[in-house]
Structure 1
Amino acid sequence: MSYRVPPLQHVELRIFSSQLHSMVDQLQEQMIEEHESETANREWIKDISNELYAPLEGIIRNVELLKFKSFTNPEEYRRIVQETYTAAFQLRKRMNDLIQDARLSFHDT
């Protein structure tokens, strides 16, 4: 898309050439904007995935401990339950933030 028709001698062709160049420039600008938007969306999804993955992994790890380990110490059991609750609460908060951001983004468009 970098090729441009050289200026032409006939007025009608010169006008057409100018309009064509303008359309090509607009198309290139749109393509760049779309590419930047897609890149930003991929980054955002990657960041959100990481934000949600950490508390989910904590919940799964603790539930496995609670399921397969017999606890003789009630304090250890309570600590793991509290950690699981905290991780679940963090996950819910991050998901609510994500939903709120999505709603705001939707209303901005």
Structure 2
Amino acid sequence: MIGITGVTGELGSFVADLVDKRGMASIHLARSPERATVYTTAEIRKMVYANTPEVDEALKGIDAWVSTYTSIKVGEQAGVSTDVENVLGRPATSLLDILRDRQLIEEEQ
């Protein structure tokens, strides 16, 4: 099961849409579940961003993370996986490439 955090934000909801279009089951971890888009392939769980028993409960059943911040905080991104490629259908983009592309876009404007 894939867990997605930040699903009420722009990036998280973009990833959630991609996962849903691929028909993959997912768990959306949101601070505000009432703001999260509801998909038939997803379960929405209340997420808090601190090391508490509530966090452990929210994470049960999640095999892979797609996250913008929480998984980094708790050390879940220590290893390299193919999760991003599996979701997007292409290899992950490095942060350096994203920043370089952003700079090029801004210079063109």
- Asked if TM exceeds 0.5, the reply is no
Q: TM-score, normalised by structure 2?
A: 0.20
> Larger Rg: 1 or 2?
1
Q: TM-score, normalised by structure 1?
A: 0.20
Higher strand share: 2
